[in-house]
Amino acid sequence: MLDTGSLPALPRGERAEVLDAWLTGLLDEAVAGTPPPRSRRGAGGRAGEPPRTGTDGVALVAVGSLGRRELPPQGDLDLVLVHEGRPEIAALADAIWYPVWDAGLRLDHSVRTVAEAVGVASTDVKAGLGMVDVRFVAGDAGLAATLRSATLGSWRQSASRLLPQLRDLRCGRARQVGELAFLLEPDLKEAYGGLREGQVLRAVAAAQLADEPTAEVEEAYAFLLDVRDELRRRTGRPSDVLVRQEQRPVAVALGLPDEDALLREVSLAGRRLAFVADETWRRVEAALVRRPRGRYRRVRREPLAEGVVRQGDEVVLARDARPAADPGLVLRGAAAAAREDLLLSPYTLKVLAVHSRPVPEPWPAEVRWSFLRLLASGRSAVAVLEQLDQEGLLSRFLPEWDRIRSLPQRHPWHRFTVDRHLVEAAAAAAELTRDVDRPDLLLVGALLHDVGKGWPGDHSEVGEPIAARIAARMGFAAADVATLAAMVRHHLLLPDTATRRDIDDPATVERVAATIGHDPALLHLLHALAQADGAATSSSAWSPWKAHLVAALVARVQARLGGTPVPEPEPVLHPGEPQVSTDAPADAASAISVGVEDVADGQQVTIVAPDRHGLFSQLAGVLALNQLDVRAAKVNVAGHRATAVFAVRPRFGRAPVASILADAVRAAFEGTLPLAERLRQREADYRQDAARATPPRVSWHNGEVTGDATGIVEVRAGDRAGLLYRLTAALVTEGLDVTSARVETLGADAADHFYVANPSGEPIGADQRARVEAALAAAVRGAVPDPADTPG
């Protein structure tokens, strides 16, 4: 009897041996207990032929993961019972399959003749991929050998038809599941660069259209198998998704220090498999192209740069190239390939990796120029830089690269690992080089801006001296080295300030100007770098609205540096002409008017109403009830009238209606619209808006304000419906007025900054701060009183 409980603990090879021995016994018992049927023609199928006995003419073969001796815990047994027309084959099959099911094992089974198996494998690409790994388990070894020979022959003959289908299938899965190297919870099997890629590479080699996978590929594949086995062994489930909560225990079981180390090794393995798969598919496509018959034509070689030529769709070394005597050849060839939107040939990469000599330090001007030319190629440089990285050539020029290679980023709005993010940022910066006076510094700064993430500490501060060392090694002048170091140190200055501070506040503008040393050139470089960084991160991290905020801040700082009055460009928030007014009473001071206009990335709502305690909170509640996400807000008070301007985005695509908003504001003022109760009901209706359990983070920035506000309170919390209303309600209950707000949503997190003041003008003391922080924490949890019930 098979001890299924001990199978998961066995190594893969031993697991396959135990299962093979058990299945062999099942087949022997099935044959012994199933007498051949009586027939004048005999069980052999031809008149006069003696009936088949024993296991003659029947074989049990394994395909899929069992065929590769890679069956994971809770994996399916993929078995095929092959026969030569034995009439009792159905009874034999039942005698094998039922004990497998009774043992609690998952089974994928079929009964075929050799001709039937070949027919299925030649028409169904998934079946054909599995049959490539067919392995004899028990029975007639000669029959199993015949099946393997026939299926491999059919696979080779059908390659021109099946392999394009297989390529399209993998590309579709990549779009659906993603790339293994860049996922925080990767699917180890189906993500592009996962285990399926290793199986495909072997199948392509079996079709004799590519070489057998190299030792590096097999090592990467084996590591992913180890991770999957340990994941399934721990969870007891047939899932291949490496979820976050299982990453640390899996890492410890595999001898790795932590979950980041595990994710990094998974990324490295996935990138290797994806890189080789991409190159293999290019070879397959070239091999499958039908060329007209005729005389052999020599492939034209087109010179591209010194030492490199174009040959077909690749860049190769020229006949007179001397890699050992030409330190600039690697980057010169890479730049030539990227400029032509081509790739270096695999053989050329190998030759360069073996024979190229180190680059002198500081770099010669020609080497630096080639590097800048490579970066300036934009999107086409990404694949070429990946080629250099995979062959270990990039780290020869930038030894610091190894510290950030495949380093995971645990922020949900980051699409890539650190190194790939930097390459993507450089590609995005290549589209902005005309906007700055020093495009060379922009390109290098984009490539290095997060280099500090490979070391402990604040990556902006840590990265500054690292970038300076790299820039000096590249041969930049001292002044340029200082500029590049400043770009790395302050690459978050503009987006952080624009989304967390009031950019109309002169103190905000002065602080930015002082930070960059009143240098207009650095300001423009930082602006372009912010755009490239955001584009390389995700659309959530760099929306049109955020781009508008940063541009507005840059305009104000530029005016300050130029010594001219602040210009009036298209404002971030500005009063609009109200489109609808409520029925104004005799006392015009009590009238409420609402205006709605389209602006960048949403709408702007302007509300003019009588000033009152808790006004900002009530208006925020009305907008939340109308399913409007607030991104920025500001209130101006003149006499007894207040003008509130909100930048909003409809959560469900429905633009706000001015008349509906005006009626809701009036109802809230009159007390007939219970905001707190309605918002609680809305949260119950939309459970996806529930806040996460992580406590909020509250920070104070009292030293950075001027004007009516006496402090800035920053709240970071999980986003939810009505959060802005609840936070401002909490501020009201603690006696504070909100004079302005800056609201930003990053993925599932809200980062809200409120300019607040005591109505009496008194400073905000430590005791009041503590009460406000407690009230804000309660507001995030949803436990906050309605401001309408607050005295005064």
Burial class (CB within 10 angstroms; exposed 0-12, middle 13-18, buried 19+) of 504:
middle
Tokens coding 31: 């044959």
Q: CA angle 247-253-254, nearest 5°?
A: 90
Answer whether residue 41 shows pLDDT above 50: no
Q: CA angle 351-352-355, nearest 5°?
A: 80
Region 287-306: mean pLDDT is 69
Least Cα distance to 769 among 693, 696, 701, 694 occurs for 701
- Is residue 679 within 8 Å of 691, Cβ to Cβ? no
User: Which DSSP helix (H) or strand (E) runs through 308?
Assistant: strand 308-311
Phi, psi of 646 (to 5 degrees): -125, 130
Q: What is the pLDDT of residue 515?
A: 95
Q: What is the pLDDT of residue 61?
A: 95
Answer whether residue 51 shows pLDDT above 80: no
Percent of the chain residues topping a pLDDT of 90: 55
pLDDT, tens digit, 9 for 90 and up, residues 86-113? 888 999 999 999 999 999 999 999 999 9
Highest mean pLDDT among 188-202, 410-424, 664-678: 188-202
Least Cα distance to 607 among 679, 669, 673 occurs for 669
Region 108-134: mean pLDDT is 90
* Number of neighbours of residue 152 by Cβ within 10 angstroms: 18
Q: Rounding to the nearest 10 degrees, give the CA dihedral for residues 5, 7, 10, 14.
A: 150
User: What's the Cα-to-Cα distance from 148 to each of 143, 254, 734, rounded to whole Å?
Assistant: 9, 35, 79
Q: What is the pLDDT of residue 568?
A: 42
Q: What is the pLDDT of residue 691?
A: 44
Q: Rounding to the nearest 10 degrees, give the CA dihedral for residues 571, 559, 477, 403.
A: -30
- Is residue 499 within 8 Å of 751, Cβ to Cβ? yes
Q: What is the pLDDT of residue 53?
A: 56
Q: What is the pLDDT of residue 43?
A: 44
Could you tell me how far CA 18 lies from the centroid of its own chain?
40
What stretches of 103-194 show up as alpha helix (H) in DSSP?
114-123, 125-131, 141-157, 159-177
Q: What is the pLDDT of residue 567?
A: 45
Answer whether residue 708 shows pLDDT above 80: no
One-letter amino acid identity for 463?
G
User: What's the Cα-to-Cα distance from 430 to each of 372, 471, 681, rounded to whole Å?
Assistant: 10, 18, 49
The mean predicted confidence, pLDDT, of the chain is: 86
Q: What is the pLDDT of residue 173?
A: 84
- Is residue 299 within 8 Å of 312, Cβ to Cβ? yes
Q: What is the pLDDT of residue 1?
A: 66
Q: What is the pLDDT of residue 690?
A: 44
Answer whether residue 789 shows pLDDT above 80: no
Highest mean pLDDT among 120-129, 470-479, 498-507: 470-479
Answer whether residue 447 shows pLDDT above 60: yes
Helix (H, G, I), strand (E, B) or coil at 475: coil
* Beta strand ranges found along 333-492 (DSSP E): 343-344
CATH number of 4-39+52-157: 3.30.460.10
Rounded CA-CA distance 702/685 in Å is: 38
Confidence label for 786 from pLDDT (cuts 50, 70 and 90): low
Least Cα distance to 158 among 132, 191, 123 occurs for 123
Sign of CA dihedral 361, 363, 364, 365: negative
The set of residues, in sequence order, having a beta carbon less than 8 Å from that of 317 and lying 6+ positions away, is 307, 308, 309, 323, 329, 333, 348, 351, 352
Tokens coding 782: 């949803």
Q: What is the pLDDT of residue 9?
A: 85
Phi, psi of 30 (to 5 degrees): -65, -45
What stretches of 632-722 show up as alpha helix (H) in DSSP?
658-670, 675-685
Confidence label for 711 from pLDDT (cuts 50, 70 and 90): confident
Least Cα distance to 233 among 2, 3, 7 occurs for 7
Q: What is the pLDDT of residue 563?
A: 59
pLDDT, tens digit, 9 for 90 and up, residues 744-783? 665 456 778 888 888 888 888 889 999 999 999 988 887 6
Region 152-179: mean pLDDT is 89
Least Cα distance to 345 among 318, 375, 372, 382 occurs for 318
Rounded CA-CA distance 477/356 in Å is: 27
Q: What is the pLDDT of residue 4?
A: 76
Answer whether residue 589 shows pLDDT above 60: no
161-288 matches 4-39+52-157 in CATH topology: no
Region 130-155: mean pLDDT is 93
Q: How much of the chain is in helix, strand and coil states, percent to nearest 5?
A: 55, 15, 35
Q: Buried b / exposed e across 723-757, counting CB within 10 Å, b at 16+?
A: bbbbbbbbbbbbbbbbbbbbbbbbeebbbbbbbbb
Rounded CA-CA distance 279/298 in Å is: 23
Please tell us whether the domain made up of 161-288 is placed in CATH 1.20.120.330.
yes
pTM: 0.80
- Is residue 617 within 8 Å of 607, Cβ to Cβ? no
Helix (H, G, I), strand (E, B) or coil at 382: helix
Least Cα distance to 713 among 646, 770, 760 occurs for 770
One-letter amino acid identity for 118?
V
- Higher-pLDDT residue of 259 and 718 is 259
Q: What is the pLDDT of residue 222?
A: 96
**What's the maximum distance between 2 C-alpha atoms anywhere in the chain?**
115
Q: What is the pLDDT of residue 742?
A: 75
> Helix (H) and strand (E) counts for the chain?
30, 17
Tokens coding 700: 């104070």
- Is residue 324 within 8 Å of 358, Cβ to Cβ? no
Specify the pairing of strand 106-113 against strand 76-83.
parallel
Q: How many CA atoms, within 13 angstroms, populate the side-chain half-sphere of residue 755?
A: 24
Rounded CA-CA distance 622/384 in Å is: 53
Could you tell me how far CA 538 lies from the centroid of its own chain?
8
Rounded CA-CA distance 50/132 in Å is: 33
- Is residue 720 within 8 Å of 689, Cβ to Cβ? yes
- Higher-pLDDT residue of 761 and 178 is 178
Answer whether residue 574 shows pLDDT above 90: no
Q: How many CA atoms, within 13 angstroms, populate the side-chain half-sphere of residue 440?
A: 14
Q: Buried b / exposed e across 687-697, counting CB within 10 Å, b at 16+?
A: eebebeeeebe
- Is residue 603 within 8 Å of 646, Cβ to Cβ? no
The set of residues, in sequence order, having a beta carbon less than 8 Å from that of 267 and lying 6+ positions away, is 180, 181, 182, 406, 408, 417
User: Which DSSP helix (H) or strand (E) runs through 733?
Assistant: helix 723-733
Least Cα distance to 729 among 690, 762, 778 occurs for 778
Helix (H, G, I), strand (E, B) or coil at 76: strand
Rounded CA-CA distance 315/339 in Å is: 11
Domain segments of the chain as ranges: 4-39+52-157, 161-288, 304-397, 433-572, 592-789
Rounded CA-CA distance 47/69 in Å is: 41
Q: DSSP label at 289?
A: S
